[in-house]
Amino acid sequence: MSAAASFDALRLCAEISAASGAGAAAVEIHTFAYFGCLLSVYEDRPPAEWGYGFRVTPAGAPYSDELDSALKTLRAGGMIVNYGHAFDLSSPGRADLELLCTHATNRARLRYLSSAAGTALLMPLPAVTSALSREPQLQEFLGAPTSRDLLDEVGVDAVKAHFEVITRVLADRDLGDDLTVPASLWLTALAEQASDG
Amino acid sequence: MDELNEEGVKRLLEEVYALPIQEEYGVNGVARLKQLALGLDQIYRHLAYEKLSGGLTVLCSLDDDAELVAGEELLRLAPEDLPAYVEEVATIQILPDGSLLLIPSASDPLGFAKQAVVYHFDGADNFVYGGALQRVINIGPLPSIFGTPTFFLLEKALEAYRHQHALHSQCPILKAGLWSDERRWFLANSPEDVAQDSLHNYLRTTLRGIREVRREQKVDKRPVDLKVSWALVPRIAYIEIKWMGQSTDPENTKISTTLNVAAAKKGAKQLADYLDDNKQEAATYDTIGHLVVFDARRRGLKFDSATLSAIDGRYYRPREVAYNPAFDKSRSDFARPLRFFLEPAQVDE
């Protein structure tokens, strides 16, 4: 099992559950992990450094086999529990997550995960996942008969073209190293594209 | 692939309220904003907006140790205890452990702004920055974007919409655009556009596990009003929206259209036809159709009526449409039709 995927599954389960007040759906964990990976691309990190890859399902959603495997393992081990349509952390899962957050290897990715999941605190959670569905490669492959890998060279170029616009618009702003504002602005722009048809 | 328009993105900056808060308070301000948002979700799960007619101020201190809310009536409590103590107005500080400091009275939100990120509700969301209360652009169906209830099942979401958003036109989009008169006796011209807007906005901000909710999907060249597609499963729901009642002309000088049960039945037939067409084209999707009918009928009402009795105003509330054929009984891809009765705002009791 991918250690990065396992950590991301735990952390996103905790953050999405807190934002929603009603657990985290599997699709939300996959989507916010992909969003976290995109935010690392925003900072010019190659997607290969994320630790695991994503593909798009025929229904147009980002999906990671490693993340799916991690969720299954965590569930079998009692680290996460299933409530109806959603997951939440068990007490051992919370304790494990607390420990994992102190590991140097996880601290860097924590920033991306928290910035991604934090957007669901600032706007309704379904509005975030709906806006992300307008991400260039997810749009490109919607309805494709087979699953396709995301963030290949063409995909990275398309996302970076978006991020260059966001960077230019925020160029004069003092944002520190927090990614919440660029993440929120990009989502707002994607949502605007959706409402324009 | 769609490219972003830079000028368009610049225009969206005012919707990103985290930006001015970050600029005013730095990275710590954004962390406090998230803590504040989390606390607001908790507060609104326990306090109804209607209970806050005198206003609600909620703050998160920039310094973990500072207790900024004070007074003789000060209480330290959990969010679930709020309903017992709050009537119309409150000032609340969210503490780092998620507990709350409460005084059940008003405060000047600007007075906390040097030491805290401050939110104020006055029927809508505001944050304090730049020395003033600044309105948050609300993309949701409720008076606040915080604490929005969410659903995993479309059927549950539609039921909640029926009772909590449509019945008394609580949805701001319905309230602003569906009616031609404040009494809610007559619908405005072309009410279907407003009904579609309202339900589209509601579903895209409350329904989880989906990929997207889109308006006006073409199925074999005929439109279906809304299309909901799920993210991880090949599932699609089509929603056909109809209305019944009397709508006025654009100048509001006369009744221009009157629709009754025939319109609902026509909608059922149209939806069944759409589903048949779609079956051939998208055999790989599990597809279901929902017929939703906004019902604004009033018994015996004429354009120049001066009064409407409570009995006539609510006459149609319990009266369901008898569909023949009943597609929801005869086919598995047709959900039970839903009728959203819309209450008049004024009747003679």
Residues of chain A positioned with their CB less than 8 A from the CB of B26: 176
What sign for the dihedral angle of Cα B288, B289, B295, B299? negative
B8: closest CA among A180, A82, A193, A154? A193
**Rounded (5°) CA angle A191-A195-B2:** 70
Q: Which chain A residues are within 8 Å of B27, Cβ to Cβ?
A: 176-178
pTM, to two decimals: 0.90
Determine the Cα–Cα distance for residues B33 and A178; give it in Å rounded to an integer: 13
pLDDT of residue B325: 94
The 3-state DSSP class for residue B341 equals: strand
What digits encode the pLDDT tens for the residues A141-153? 776 767 789 999 9
Nearest chain A residue to B13 by CA distance is A185
Q: Among all residues of chain B, which has the CA nearest to that of A83?
A: B152
- The residue written with tokens 């819309």 in the block is B342
- B8–A192 CB contact, under 8 Å: yes
The ipTM (two decimal places) reads 0.89
Q: Quick one: tokens of A58?
A: 């025929």
CA–CA dist B168, B296 (Å, integer): 11
Decide: B195 and B241 in contact? Cβ < 8 Å: yes
Nearest Cα residue in chain A from B148: A124
* pLDDT score for A83: 85
Q: For residue A87, which of A8, A15, A13 has the smallest C-alpha distance? A: A13
Cross-chain residue pair A19–B233, CB shorter than 8 Å: no
Instruction: Kindly identify which residue of chain B lies nearest to residue A29, measuring between CA atoms.
Output: B209
Q: How far is CA A79 from the centre of its chain?
A: 20
From the list A57, A84, A166, the residue facing B232 with the nearest CB is: A57
Judged by CB atoms closer than 8 Å, whether chains meet at B22 and A123 is answered as no
Report the 10 Å Cβ neighbour count for B305.
12
Residue type, B208: R
What is the crossing angle of helices A153-169 and A180-195, to 10°? 110
What is the secondary structure of B275-295 as a DSSP string?
HHHHHHH-TTSEEEEEEEEEE
d(Cα A130, Cα A89) in Å, to the nearest integer?
A: 25
Going residue by residue through chain B, which has 349 residues, state the pLDDT in tens, using 9 for 90 and above: 578 899 999 999 988 999 999 999 998 999 999 999 999 999 999 998 888 999 999 999 999 999 999 988 999 999 999 999 999 999 999 999 999 999 999 999 999 999 999 999 999 999 999 999 999 988 778 889 998 889 999 999 999 999 999 999 999 899 999 999 999 999 999 999 999 999 999 999 999 988 889 887 555 566 789 999 898 888 899 999 999 999 999 999 999 999 999 999 999 999 999 898 877 666 778 899 999 999 999 999 999 999 999 999 999 999 999 999 999 999 999 999 999 999 999 998 7
Residue contact B9–A169, C-beta within 8 A = yes
- Enumerate the residues of chain B whose CB falls inside 8 A of the CB of residue A134: 2, 212
pLDDT for A196: 63
Q: Give the number of beta-carbon pairs within 8 Å between A and B.
A: 158
The minimal CB distance from B22 to the residues A25, A169, A181 is found for: A181
Residues 6+ apart with CB under 8 A from B161: B171, B199, B202, B203, B340
Tokens encoding A62: 């980002």
- A143 close to A60: Cβ distance less than 8 angstroms: yes
Residue B222 is predicted with a pLDDT of: 66
Instruction: Give B-chain residues touching A191 at CB under 8 angstroms.
Output: 139
- pLDDT, tens only, B31-52: 999 999 999 999 999 998 888 9
pLDDT in tens, chain A (197 residues): 799 999 999 999 999 999 988 899 999 999 999 999 999 999 999 999 999 999 998 888 899 999 999 999 999 999 999 988 899 999 999 999 999 999 999 998 999 999 999 999 999 999 999 899 889 998 887 767 677 899 999 999 999 999 999 999 999 888 878 899 999 999 999 988 876 65
Return the domain boundaries, chain A. 3-195
Q: Rounded distance, CA B217 to CA B49, Å?
A: 35
Region of A21 on the Ramachandran plot (φ > 0 left; ψ -120 to 50 alpha; else beta): left
> Chain A contacts of B210, Cβ < 8 Å?
126, 129-130
Q: Is the peptide bond before B325 cis (omega within 30 degrees of 0)?
A: yes
**Nearest chain B alpha carbon to A167:** B6
- 8 A C-beta contact, residue B196 and residue B226: yes
Which of A56, A71, A83, A123 is the best mutation test for B, with the most CBs of B within 10 A? A123
* Tokens matching residue A71: 């969720």
pLDDT tens, B187-239? Answer: 999 999 999 999 999 999 999 988 889 887 555 566 789 999 898 888 899 99
Q: What is the pLDDT of residue A140?
A: 82
**Cβ pair B206:A124 closer than 8 A:** yes
